[in-house]
């Protein structure tokens, strides 16, 4: 099977250059092609040759994407290929690597398996946040924060047209199942197994004894209102500041409008991944 693959690596080039070269060799063995952007070629000193082509940007018309880095790099690849059906094969060069398919040992064999498409895939749902004029999507989470130096945020929220509550807090986090082991978990929110149809809302430092995390049905739209009379709050998409929400205004959050495809080892389970990544950190 001839495969055309792309690659995305994180900024610490010294950690990944050997793996990129192993990836080129695996492409040659498979009589396939690794399509590298000009940026990646410059980072790793690559030149056009057998099994390797160079394009101005990360190509989308590929069969597979390799992401070499931490969860942030893998998330970037998942966002770029969301809705295309292109699987992202992650190699962990980060701290946790919860989204990674493999760790960086024995990569020659792992890459050979990948070029033969000997892996399973799982569809990861996105959540979208927007106002009438514009919408943004996240694979992990969307969060609303008080601005630095301002008073605590005053946030009201409702689901499916019903008001649920109003909380003074440093912010709130809306997480997908795959994002629930990140910011949401740090807030004391529940972990959602991959495959759960739904999302979770949790609060950052709530000034309340009654604010509790809430698991929401997939079809229920969440409305978040900045109930402050004076101060704007920030909306972050997958950890990146994206837009300000002025006093009195709403944003709406919807689940599952698009999906990204993650490659994983055959037979791998979410619970094995949970034990290996988080159990290892606890020891």
As annotated, the active-site residues are 71
Distance from C-alpha of 116 to C-alpha of 262, rounded to nearest angstrom: 16
Residues 6+ apart with CB under 8 A from 32: 1, 2, 3, 4, 5, 51, 115
How far is it, in rounded angstroms, from Cα 107 to Cα 150?
48
Determine the longest span between alpha carbons in the chain, in angstroms: 63
DSSP 3-state assignment of 275? helix
What is the CB neighbour count within 10 angstroms for residue 106? Answer: 9
DSSP state of 251: E
Q: Of all helices (H) and strands (E), which one includes residue 184?
A: helix 183-186
- Give the DSSP letter string of 32-101: -EEEEEHHHHHHHT--SBTTEEEESS--SS-SEEEEEESHHHHHHHHHHHTTTT-EEEEEE-SSS-TT-S
């Amino acid at each position: 099977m001839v495969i055309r693959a792309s690659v995305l690596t994180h900024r610490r080039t010294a950690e990944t250059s050997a793996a990129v070269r192993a990836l080129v060799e695996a492409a040659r063995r498979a009589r396939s092609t690794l399509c590298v952007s000009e940026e990646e070629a410059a980072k790793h000193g690559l030149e056009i040759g057998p099994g390797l082509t160079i394009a101005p940007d990360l190509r989308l018309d590929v069969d597979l994407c390799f992401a070499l880095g931490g969860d942030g790099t893998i998330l970037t690849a998942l966002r770029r290929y969301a809705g295309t059906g292109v699987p992202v094969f992650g190699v962990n060069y980060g701290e946790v690597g919860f989204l990674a398919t493999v760790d960086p040992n024995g990569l020659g064999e792992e890459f050979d398996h990948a070029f033969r498409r000997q892996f399973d895939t799982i569809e990861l749902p996105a959540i979208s946040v927007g106002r009438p004029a514009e919408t943004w999507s996240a694979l992990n989470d969307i969060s609303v924060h008080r601005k630095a130096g301002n008073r605590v945020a005053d946030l009201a929220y409702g689901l499916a047209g019903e008001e649920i509550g109003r909380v003074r807090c440093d912010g709130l986090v809306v997480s997908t199942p795959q994002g629930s082991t990140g910011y949401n978990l740090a807030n004391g929110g529940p972990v959602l197994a991959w495959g759960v149809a739904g999302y979770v809302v949790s609060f950052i430092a709530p000034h309340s004894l009654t604010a509790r995390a809430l698991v929401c049905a997939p079809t229920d739209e969440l409305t978040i209102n900045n109930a402050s009379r004076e101060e704007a709050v920030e909306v972050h998409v997958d950890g990146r500041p994206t837009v300000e929400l002025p006093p009195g205004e709403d944003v709406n959050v919807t689940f599952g409008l698009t999906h990204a495809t993650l490659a994983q080892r055959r037979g791998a389970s979410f619970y094995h991944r949970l034990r290996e990544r988080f159990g290892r950190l606890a020891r």
